[in-house]
A and B are shown apart, each in its own frame.
Chain A
Amino acid sequence: MRIAICVKEVPDPSAEKRIDEGTNRLVRAGENTLNPYDRHAIEAAVRIKEGPAPDTEITVVTVGPESAARSVDRALAQGGDRSVHVADEAAAGSDLLGTARILAAALRRDQYDLILLGQQAADAECYVMAGLVAELLELPCVTQAASIEVGDGSVTVKRQVETGYDTVRAQTPCVVSVSDAINDPRYPPLPAIMGAKKKPHEVLALADLGVDPASVGAAGAGTRVGGLSKPEGRGDTVLIEDDGTAAEKIIEFLVEKKVVA
C-alpha cells in the first residue's frame, strides 16, 4: 500500500499564541512542533504497515516554510519512509483553499492508496482540510475516523456522528482524517530520531508542482481578515496549584460561590 500523511508544523500548543495586529497573521512565537493530532495519523499508518500490509510505503507530506523540516523529521522518526515538503515564499499566508490546492498538487504526483490527515491543526483548528483536499483530488472522503480497517480495495471506518456511530466503507484511493482517540501514538526511540534525517527528502517549490502562485498564499486567499477584536471572556480564572489541599480549596471555593451548602 502507498500511504501519504499530511502533517503540519504548528506553534507549540502550550506556548502563548497571538495574532499580529499589523499583518493579521499568527505570530509563531516559541518552538514549533509537529501538530500533535497528526501523530495519530502517522501511528495509524504505521499500524497498517506492521499489520495487514507489510509492504506499505509511508510518505510524509507538508506545506510550510523551510523550518518545518524539523517536524517532517519528527514525523519520519515516528515511522515514515520518505517526505515531500512544499516550501515556497509564495505559499505564505495561504488559507484553507490555498493550502488544499498545494497539498492536492503535491499528492497528485504519486499514486497513493490512502491519504491520512489529523482531526484538526492545533493552531487554526479548522478541522475540514480533508474535505477540501478530497474534492480537489476527486477522491472519496471520510473524516474523524475512530478506527480504520484495511480491506481489499477499500477501507472500513467507524466514526462518530451526532446520532451515534456510523460504519462506512470507502473505496481506495481515498482521503481519511483520524480522531485523536484512534490510537496512542508511540514516541520514537533515539535511533529513529537520528535516522530520520537520512531518509529520502524531497523539497519542492510551487513551480515544481505547476501551481500558479497567484492561486495560493496571501494573494490567492479566498478569505480576507479585515480586523481583529477581543471577545467577551467568562471572567477571571482563579488558578491554584495542588499542594495537597486542593480538594479542601475546591470545597471552600464552591461554598463561597454558594454552589454547595
Chain B
Amino acid sequence: MAGIAVLCELQGGQVAKGSLGVLEEAARLGAAIGEPVTAVVTGSGLDDAALADLGAHGAATVVAADDPRLGAGLAQPVVDACAAAQEAGQYRYWLAGASIMTADAMAGLAARLGAGIVIDAVELVADGSDLVTRRSGLGDSVLAHCGFATPVGVVVTRANSFAPTEGATGSAPVERIQPSFRSWSEGVELVGHEDAEDSGPDIGAADVLVAGGRGLGDAGGFAMIEDCAAAFGGAVAATRAVVDAGWYPYSAQVGQTGKTVSPKLYIACGISGAIQHKVGMQGSGTIVAINKDKNAPIFDYADLGVVGDLHDIVPKLAELVRARG
C-alpha cells in the first residue's frame, strides 16, 4: 500500500472547493509521511485539461473515471470507481471532504475494502510515517486521535475544515480508468432534480441572520422570524429540518449541505444545534440562541443562551429593536 487518494467531487461541473482544500491538506501531509497524492475524479464527460489543473492543488497524479453512470451524483457507482482506482493504485489512505455523495461513497468503499473509516475528522496529523486524524466528537467537546488498524484507512473530513489557496498553478498527468459496475450500484436511478432557487435575499451577505428551526412549531412560525430579521435589517436562515419539511426555501438553509455564513450576529431560534448546522454558522461574530431546552447543544457554542419559549421572546425582541430605531 502506498500513497494517498483524495476523492474529488464535481459540483456544477467544477471540482468542489471543499475537495480542493482536502487535496492541499493531503499534499502537506503526504510530504510529511512520504506518500504521494492522487486526485480521483469521477463524472461524465470529464475534461482532461481541467483535471490536469488539480496539480495546482497538490495532486501528483489525477485518476479519472468517466462514465454516464457517474454523472448523476449517486454514491454507489462512485464506490465502484474508487475500488477500480484502488485496485490499480493500492493506496494506503483515502480522503474526502464531507458531502452527501462523498460520505456515502467512502462508507461503501470502506465496507468493500474492509477498511477502518473515520468520520468528521477536523485535522490530519503525521505520526511517523502514519496518518492520524483528529476526530471531533460529543458536540465538539473532545478530539479523538484516531488512526487505523487496517492496511487501508478511509477518512471523511468535516465540511469547511480546509480551504484551498486561490490562484495556485500547476499541472498533473491524467490517467483514465474504466470501473466495472456492480449490479447493486446500478439499482438506484436519478429520476428528477429541483435546483435550489436562489431567490430572496442573499443570506451570505447579511450582517444579521435570524434563523428558525423546528422549534417554531410550524411553517407559520417563520412570519415571526421574518419580522424580527426585518427589524434588524437582516435576513432569515433555516435548518435542514424545516427546509426538508417544506416550511422554508432551501436557499435559506445554513449548514453542511446548505450555506456557510459568517454574519456579525446570528440569532438561532428553536434550533437544537446539530454539528451539521454548526459547521455552517460557527464563524458568526456573535451567536445568540433561544431554546426551551437548557441542554440543547446550541448552548455549547452560543455567546448568549436564552432558555425560554421563542414565541414569547422573538416578537418582543423585534419590537425592542424597532423602538431603538
- Asked whether B316 is an interface residue with its Cβ less than 8 Å from the other chain, the reply is yes
Which partner residue on chain B sits nearest A136 by CB separation?
B111
Instruction: Closest A residue to B195 by CB, please name it.
Output: A164
**Bound state CA distance, A34 and B190, in angstroms?**
33
B306 CB within 8 Å of chain A: yes
B191 at the binding interface (Cβ < 8 Å): yes
Closest residue on chain A to residue B256 by CB atoms: A162
* A163/B12 contact (C-beta < 8 A), A224-B148, A242-B312 known: yes
Contact B148 A100 (CB under 8 A): no
The reply to whether B282 and A234 contact each other, CB–CB distance below 8 Å, is: yes
Of the candidates A13, A131, A181, A250, the one whose C-beta lies within 8 Å of that of B317 is A250
- B116 touches which of A138, A223, A227, A239 (Cβ 8 Å): A223
| Inter-chain contact total with CB atoms closer than 8 Å | 285
The size bracket of the interface on A is: 35 or more
Query: Using Cβ atoms and an 8 Å threshold, which residues of chain A touch B118?
Result: 223
Given contacts A181-B241, A242-B312, contact A164 B110 (CB under 8 A): no
Q: In the complex, A246→B314 CA distance in Å?
A: 9
> Is the Cβ of B136 less than 8 Å from the Cβ of A226?
no
- Name which residue of chain A comes closest to B285, CB basis: A259
* B107, B120, B140, B317: the one within 8 Å of A132 (CB): B107
CB neighbours (8 Å) of A62 from chain B are: none
A169 to B51: give the CA distance in the assembly, Å.
31
Label chain A's interface by main secondary structure: mixed
A125 interfacial by beta-carbon distance below 8 Å: yes
Closest beta carbon of chain B to A209's beta carbon, Å? 17
- In Å, the complex CA distance between A17 and B295 comes to 12
Q: Which of B138-160 contact A (CB under 8 A)?
A: 138-150, 153, 156
Which residues in chain A, 27-83, are within 8 Å of chain B measured between CB atoms?
none
Query: Which residues does chain A contribute within 8 Å of B294, judged by CB atoms?
Result: 239, 241
A14 interface contact, C-beta 8 A = yes
- With contact pairs A128-B103, A221-B116 given, residues A97 and B111 touching in the complex (Cβ less than 8 Å): yes
- Give per-residue flags for A111-127: 1 if the beta carbon is below 8 A from chain B beta carbons, else 0: 00000000000011111
Q: Which residues of B contact A124 (CB under 8 A)?
A: 137
**Once the chains bind, are B303 and A223 in contact (CB under 8 Å)?**
no
**Secondary structure type dominating chain B contacts:** mixed
Whether A164 contacts B194 by the Cβ 8 Å rule is yes
Determine the residue in chain A with the shortest Cβ distance to B250. A164
- Chain A residue at smallest Cβ distance from B319: A247
A170–B150 alpha-carbon span in the complex (Å): 32
> What's the Cα separation between A164 and B105 when bound, in Å?
19
The stretch of B41-49, B57-65, B71-79, B169-177 that contacts the partner chain: B71-79
Is there a chain A Cβ closer than 8 Å to B2's Cβ?
A: no
Query: When each residue 169-187 of chain B gets 1 if its CB lies under 8 Å from chain A and 0 otherwise, what string results?
Result: 0000000000000111101
Chain B interface extent, by class: 35 or more
Does B245 belong to the interface (CB within 8 Å)? yes
Cα A228 to Cα B191 in complex, Å, equals: 45
Nearest-neighbor residue (CB-CB) of B207 within chain A: A259
* CB of B285 to closest CB in A, whole Å: 7
CB within 8 A of A166: which of B73, B264, B285, B300?
A: B73
What is the CA–CA distance of A233 and B115 in the complex, to the nearest angstrom? Answer: 32
B108:A134 contact, CB within 8 angstroms = yes
Q: Are A141 and B193 in contact (CB under 8 A)?
A: no
Residues of A within 8 A of B110 (CB): 96-97, 132, 222
- On whether the beta carbons of B244 and A146 are closer than 8 Å, the reply is yes
B313 touches A247 (CB 8 A): yes
Q: With A237-B305, A251-B321 as given contacts, are A166 and B295 in contact (CB-CB < 8 Å)?
A: no
In the complex, per-residue mask of B71-109: 1 if CB is within 8 Å of any chain A CB, else 0 = 001111001000000000000000000011101111110
A143 proximity list for chain B (CB < 8 A): 75, 100, 104
Find out whether the CB atom of B145 lies under 8 angstroms from the CB atom of A228.
Answer: yes
Q: Are A239 and B299 in contact (CB under 8 A)?
A: yes
* Residues B111 and A131 in contact, CB atoms below 8 Å apart: yes
Q: Do the beta carbons of B119 and A127 come within 8 Å of each other?
A: yes
Is the beta-carbon distance between A254 and B265 smaller than 8 angstroms?
A: yes
B196 contacts A164, C-beta separation under 8 Å: yes
By a CB distance below 8 angstroms, the chain B residues around A187 are none
Contact B146 A225 (CB under 8 A): yes
**B243 contacts chain A at the CB level, 8 A cutoff:** yes
CB-based contact A223/B184 at 8 Å:
no
Q: Within the assembled complex, what's the spacing in Å between the Cα atoms of A249 and B145?
A: 40
Q: Is A128 in contact with B106, judged by CB distance below 8 angstroms? A: yes
Measured in the bound complex, the distance between the Cα atoms of B144 and A18 in whole Å is 12
Residues in chain A near residue B243, CB distance under 8 A? 160, 181
Interface residues of B in 294-309 (CB under 8 A from A): 294-295, 299-309
Q: How near does chain A come to B198, taking the closest CB pair, in angstroms?
A: 10
- Residues on B lying within 8 angstroms of A by beta carbon are 11-12, 73-76, 79, 99-101, 103-108, 110-112, 114-120, 122, 127, 132, 134, 136-150, 153, 156, 182-185, 187-196, 214, 232, 240-245, 250, 257, 264-265, 275, 282, 285-288, 290, 293-295, 299-309, 312-313, 316-317, 319-321, 324
Given contacts A26-B138, A169-B188, A244-B312, 6 further A-B contacts (CB under 8 A): A135-B76, A140-B76, A143-B75, A222-B153, A246-B308, A259-B264
Nearest first, the 7 closest Cβ-Cβ pairs linking A and B are A222-B116, A242-B308, A131-B107, A140-B187, A181-B244, A167-B192, A135-B111
Chosen A-B contacts, 9 in total, with CB atoms closer than 8 Å, are A128-B156, A140-B185, A141-B75, A143-B100, A162-B99, A169-B191, A181-B242, A181-B245, A246-B306
